[in-house]
């Protein structure tokens, strides 16, 4: 195993967002390609907003995508004593100090800086205080002055910040709890993280964290900041653009391999290749090939990929995955057609499992009504003749598969002088209730001749009752 150690560190304040899932995927791919270690860490120091439901949703999303972790999940809330030790270490070494400025005082300082055209950062009032009043305080990191903080980002290249722009970061709040930037440094150092791949909304945190690594004597990891995902209006992807939760895409009938394939191509490319198997993603992924620009989420492209994976998917697996979508519609497959045959008849045409389930309902629930507009295209006498002839032929045929039934319909057309649409369409309506259904041969193979005859008789009776 290589020395590469990467991590995905979500905050459990909601579901697993597709942006977070892509970050997790990039970390996972790099670890798998280089034989490294992929660590899952739950950053739950925000006690008020962190919930067990969110943790469960994140784990569920990761597992559904197949992004198995090698170590963890670790929880920041289990490490408060460790964080306090390092806060005290910095205080003892003079690299941190207690700040007694009240909220009102800080706001006045900020307003004054804004009026004077200065950067509204902390002015260092308590940096050199020698007294220790009995008053609430935060602990601030004593940021080095002068020069710059720079790093070579694996995606964005060299990034530098003037040290004067970095104020004395609060590392411990008045209630004794540590702050995000401090916890991240301690966690990444104690977990020996070698490469930090995260969203580029963290770029401004990185110089502050680098200063903390250096002050604590920790090795500084490599950084790779992944550009954000935008909606169609080029604003940051959010609920107003549609679903952003990984589990929502599962519930909408997307396959995990389709979402993984889509996410890996959202900002990364390998020539003109569009479709990647899991193994191909691992083999070809290179973090340096991730683009520097934001990517736009395109649901149509995701649907195209999902249709590809459904079309080429294993039928037994698809049948298992389809069951919850059928159940949601009150459909049970017990005593009905073979679900594998149903899947076979639909997988060429379905973009999602939800769409497949909707189109599969008629197989298990015989139609109670028929597409009147479609039936109206044929003379009543013609419909009756078709239904009678097809039912009679089906009762005598030895055909057992779609090809055999299709051949039977060709024989009927030749015998009666009908064209295939004059037979196929009325029978499709009789069997399914409408025109948007698979070929009649496929339908009859799945339903069986006896059920097909019964439905054709029902359609004929419907005509007679009009």
C-alpha 400, offset from chain centre: 42
How sure is the predictor about 49, in pLDDT bands with cuts at 50, 70 and 90? confident
3-state secondary structure of 182: helix
Q: Which two tokens mark 208?
A: 């502050």
Question: Per-residue pLDDT tens for 213-239?
Answer: 999 999 999 999 999 999 988 888 877
pLDDT, residue 116, reads 81
Q: What is the mean pLDDT of the chain?
A: 94
- Token look-up 């604590």 returns 216
Residues with Cβ within 8 Å of residue 376, at least 6 apart in sequence: none
Of 9-23, 51-65, 99-113, 316-330, the poorest mean pLDDT is in 99-113
Could you tell me if residue 55 is inside a domain?
yes
**Interstrand relation of 222-226 and 229-230 (parallel, antiparallel or unpaired):** unpaired
Residue pair 61/101 in contact by the 8 Å Cβ criterion: no
Same domain, residue pair 16 and 122: no
Residues with Cβ within 8 Å of residue 53, at least 6 apart in sequence: none
* Residues 12, 365: Cα–Cα separation, whole Å: 42
Domain count, the chain: 4
If one counts every other C-beta atom within 10 angstroms of the C-beta of residue 358, the result is 17
pLDDT, residue 113, reads 78
Could you tell me if residue 86 is inside a domain?
yes
Residue pair 259/246 in contact by the 8 Å Cβ criterion: yes
| CATH number of the domain encompassing residue 409 | 1.10.10.350
pLDDT above 90 for 103: no
Same domain, residue pair 407 and 348: no
Nearest to 244 by CA among 43, 17, 431: 17
Q: The domain containing residue 430 runs over which residues?
A: 372-465
* End-of-domain residue from the set 189, 211, 226: 226
Mean pLDDT of 367-374: 94
Nearest to 363 by CA among 457, 459, 455, 461: 455
Could you tell me if residue 174 is inside a domain?
yes
Of 12-21, 40-49, 439-448, 450-459, the poorest mean pLDDT is in 40-49
Residue pair 409/400 in contact by the 8 Å Cβ criterion: no
Residue pair 25/65 in contact by the 8 Å Cβ criterion: yes
Q: Which two tokens mark 418?
A: 């009908």
pLDDT above 70 for 272: yes
Strand order in the sheet with 37-42: 5-8, 37-42, 71-75
C-alpha 423, offset from chain centre: 45
| DSSP 8-class letter at 163 | G
Q: Which two tokens mark 454?
A: 């019964």
Could you tell me if residue 253 is inside a domain?
yes
**Comparison of pLDDT for 70 and 2, the residue scoring more:** 70
Same domain, residue pair 28 and 45: yes
Same domain, residue pair 346 and 405: no
Mean pLDDT of 304-311: 98
Residue pair 167/143 in contact by the 8 Å Cβ criterion: yes
Same domain, residue pair 350 and 212: no
pLDDT, residue 87, reads 98
Same domain, residue pair 384 and 261: no
Mean pLDDT of 6-21: 95
Same domain, residue pair 28 and 146: no
Q: Which two tokens mark 15?
A: 């579901």
Q: Which two tokens mark 453?
A: 């005859």
C-alpha 170, offset from chain centre: 34
Annotated catalytic residues are: 239
Question: Per-residue pLDDT tens for 312-351?
Answer: 999 999 999 999 999 999 999 999 999 999 999 999 999 9
Could you tell me if residue 307 is inside a domain?
no
Same domain, residue pair 209 and 132: yes
Q: How far are the Cα atoms of 33, 123, 130, 212, 428 from residue 126, in angstroms, in the given order? A: 49, 9, 9, 19, 82
pLDDT, residue 233, reads 87
Same domain, residue pair 112 and 220: yes
* Residues 204, 223: Cα–Cα separation, whole Å: 12
Could you tell me if residue 306 is inside a domain?
no
**Comparison of pLDDT for 117 and 199, the residue scoring more:** 199
Q: How is 65-125 classified by DSSP, letter by letter? A: HT---SEEEEEGGGGHHHHHHHHHHHHHTTSEEEE---HHHHHHHHHHHHHTT-------T
Q: Which two tokens mark 68?
A: 């198995």
Question: Would you call 384 exposed, middle or buried from its count of C-beta atoms within 10 A (0-12, 13-18, 19+)?
Answer: middle
Same domain, residue pair 54 and 171: no
| CATH number of the domain encompassing residue 177 | 3.40.50.620
Residues with Cβ within 8 Å of residue 177, at least 6 apart in sequence: 45, 47, 80
pLDDT, residue 74, reads 97
* Residues 139, 4: Cα–Cα separation, whole Å: 33
Same domain, residue pair 329 and 348: yes
**Comparison of pLDDT for 305 and 164, the residue scoring more:** 305
pLDDT above 70 for 1: no
* Residues 267, 247: Cα–Cα separation, whole Å: 22
pLDDT, residue 119, reads 80
* Residues 369, 361: Cα–Cα separation, whole Å: 14
**Comparison of pLDDT for 145 and 261, the residue scoring more:** 261
Half-sphere exposure of 96 (CA within 13 A, CB side): 24
pLDDT above 70 for 379: yes
| DSSP 8-class letter at 225 | E
Half-sphere exposure of 429 (CA within 13 A, CB side): 24
How sure is the predictor about 129, in pLDDT bands with cuts at 50, 70 and 90? confident
Same domain, residue pair 83 and 216: yes
* Residues 172, 11: Cα–Cα separation, whole Å: 19
Could you tell me if residue 308 is inside a domain?
no
If one counts every other C-beta atom within 10 angstroms of the C-beta of residue 376, the result is 9
Q: Hey, CA dihedral for 146, 151, 157, 159, is it positive or negative?
A: negative
Could you tell me if residue 305 is inside a domain?
no
Q: Which helix or strand (DSSP H or E) is residue 210 part of?
A: helix 206-216
Question: Per-residue pLDDT tens for 171-211?
Answer: 999 999 999 999 999 999 999 999 999 999 999 999 999 99
* End-of-domain residue from the set 226, 253, 286: 226
């Amino acid at each position: 195993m290589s020395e590469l150690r990467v991590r995905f560190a979500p905050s459990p304040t909601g579901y697993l967002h597709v942006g977070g899932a892509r970050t997790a995927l990039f970390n996972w791919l790099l670890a798998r390609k280089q034989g490294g270690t992929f660590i899952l860490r739950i950053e739950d120091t925000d006690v008020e907003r962190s919930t067990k439901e969110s943790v469960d949703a994140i784990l569920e999303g990761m597992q559904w995508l197949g992004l198995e972790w090698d170590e963890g999940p670790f929880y920041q809330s289990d490490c408060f004593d460790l964080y306090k030790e390092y806060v005290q270490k910095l205080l003892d070494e003079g690299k941190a100090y207690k700040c007694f400025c009240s909220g009102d005082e800080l706001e006045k300082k900020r307003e004054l800086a804004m009026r004077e055209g200065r950067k509204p950062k902390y002015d260092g009032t308590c940096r050199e205080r020698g007294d220790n009043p009995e008053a609430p305080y935060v602990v601030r990191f004593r940021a080095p002055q002068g020069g710059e903080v720079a790093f070579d980002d694996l995606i964005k290249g060299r990034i530098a910040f003037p040290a004067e722009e970095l104020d004395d970061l609060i590392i411990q709040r008045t209630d004794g709890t540590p702050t995000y930037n401090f916890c991240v440094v301690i966690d990444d150092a104690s977990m020996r993280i070698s490469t930090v791949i995260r969203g580029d909304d963290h770029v401004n945190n990185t110089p502050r964290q680098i200063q903390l690594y250096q002050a604590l004597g920790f090795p500084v990891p490599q950084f790779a900041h992944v550009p954000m995902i935008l909606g169609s209006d080029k604003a940051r992807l959010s609920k107003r653009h549609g679903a952003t939760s990984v589990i929502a895409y599962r519930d909408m009938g997307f396959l995990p391999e389709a979402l993984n394939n889509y996410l890996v191509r959202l900002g990364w490319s390998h020539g003109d290749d569009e479709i990647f198997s899991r193994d191909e993603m691992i083999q070809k992924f290179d973090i340096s090939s991730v683009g520097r620009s934001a990517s736009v989420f395109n649901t149509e492209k995701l649907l195209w990929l999902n249709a590809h994976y459904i079309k080429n998917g294993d039928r037994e697996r698809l049948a298992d995955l389809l069951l919850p979508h059928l159940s949601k519609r009150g459909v049970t497959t017990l005593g009905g057609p073979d679900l594998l045959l149903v899947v076979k008849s639909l997988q060429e045409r379905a973009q999602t499992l939800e769409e497949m389930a909707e189109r599969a309902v008629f197989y298990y629930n015989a139609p109670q009504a028929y597409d009147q507009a479609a039936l109206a295209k044929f003379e009543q006498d013609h419909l009756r003749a078709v239904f009678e002839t097809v039912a009679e032929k089906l009762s005598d045929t030895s055909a057992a598969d779609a090809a055999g039934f299709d051949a039977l319909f060709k024989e009927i057309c030749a015998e009666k002088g009908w064209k295939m649409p004059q037979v196929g369409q009325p029978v499709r309506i009789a069997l399914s209730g409408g025109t948007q259904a698979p070929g009649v041969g496929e339908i009859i193979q799945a339903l069986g001749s006896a059920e097909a005859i019964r439905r054709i008789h029902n359609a004929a009776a419907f005509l007679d009752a009009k």
